Amino acid sequence: MPKIDLYRNVHMGQRARLFALATELGAADVSHSGAAAEQAARCLAMTRELREHADHEDTFIHQLLRERAPEAADALEAEHVRLDAAFVALDERARTLTGIPAEDLPEAQHALYLALNEVISAYLAHLHAEETVAMPALWQYAGAEELGAVMAAFRASRTPEQSLTDLRRMLPALPPAPRAAIVRDVMAAAPHGQADRTLAAVSGTLSPDQRHRLHEDLGVPEVRAAG
């Protein structure tokens, strides 16, 4: 039975979306009406999401880590200092972008792009610490039942809408096999008669090729999800 990894899948989704945001911000034509405000809003939404994610980890994971492996918990707390400063700098850049005169927008856009990439740099280091220090420590000092209880408690804390958002953010970044395993479990837990609708909802952010592969792996004709 595979080890329970509390970080892997969600972190893969976060990396994919951070990299996409950086690429799209760098290439955006902010001279078009509303484009600067849209890019600023996307950056602010990302820092808000990452802060919420950190709160979830503190609530459901890091208390156990602090009890069982305090040195690993200390390593994560050290990462938070640089990370929090990067979030603040990005938020400040994003909030001022929409008030910039048109002739100054290209430089302001690039400054926002650099601030976003500073967040990504700090966040990648944070993810690396969680995945190579914190998770191995939890595997060593906490049992599978405890890790399963952590995962179950987090899932129970999410509304159906939040759970759907979590899946739609994460699934496009996963390989086919774990993606299909997750969706299969979600469909099995759906209310009676709602499995097809659930499949359509969770697969909405997948590319056409990813969606086709998912249906193949599940053994479900694609036309069923459209009904």
- C-alpha to C-alpha distances, 34 to 20, 31, 180, nearest whole angstrom: 20, 8, 38
Mean pLDDT across 83-93 = 95
Question: What's the pLDDT at 1?
Answer: 65
Diameter of the chain by CA atoms? 59
How confident is the model at residue 215, as a pLDDT? 97
> How would you class 168 by CB atoms within 10 Å of its CB: exposed for 0-12, middle for 13-18, buried for 19 or more?
middle
Confidence of residue 78 (pLDDT cuts 50, 70, 90): confident
CA dihedral angle for residue 83, residue 135, residue 12, residue 39, rounded to 10 degrees: -20
Place of tokens 């459209």: 226
Q: What is the mean pLDDT of residues 99-109?
A: 94
Cα 133 from Cα 53, distance rounded (Å): 18
Domain topology for 8-153: Four Helix Bundle (Hemerythrin (Met), subunit A) (1.20.120)
Q: How far is CA 4 from CA 74, 79, 166, 174, in A?
A: 22, 24, 18, 16
The pLDDT value recorded for residue 81 is 78
Q: How many angstroms separate the CA atoms of 112 and 89, rounded?
A: 9
Look at 32 and 216; give whichever has higher pLDDT: 216
Please say whether the beta carbons of 137 and 68 come within 8 A: yes
Amino acid at residue number 2: P
Q: Which residues contact 71 (CB under 8 A, 6 or more apart)?
A: 137
Please determine, for residue 226, whether its predicted confidence score (pLDDT) is greater than 80: no
Instruction: Report d(CA 142, CA 61) in Å as an integer.
Output: 11
Higher-scoring residue by pLDDT: 81, 60:
60
**Per-domain residue ranges for the chain?**
8-153, 160-225
> Rounded to an integer, what distance in angstroms lies between the CA atom of residue 112 and that of residue 223?
43
Question: What average pLDDT is seen over the chain?
Answer: 94
Token duo for residue 20 = 């996409």
Share of the chain above pLDDT 90, in %: 87
Three-class SS state of 66: helix
Q: What confidence tier does 227 reach under pLDDT thresholds 50, 70, 90? A: very low
Please check the confidence at residue 212 and state whether its pLDDT lies above 90: yes
pLDDT at residue 79 in the model: 78
> Using an 8 Å Cβ cutoff, are 138 and 70 in contact?
no
Contact 65, 72 (CB under 8 A): yes
Mean pLDDT within 114-118: 97
Collect all residues with Cβ–Cβ distance below 8 Å to 140 and sequence separation of at least 6. 69
Q: How far apart are CA 156 and CA 163, in angstroms?
A: 9
pLDDT tens figures, 120-130? 999 999 999 99
Question: Which tens digits make up the pLDDT trace of 143-201?
Answer: 999 999 999 999 999 999 999 999 999 999 999 999 999 999 999 999 999 999 999 99
Q: How far apart are CA 200 and CA 52, in angstroms?
A: 26
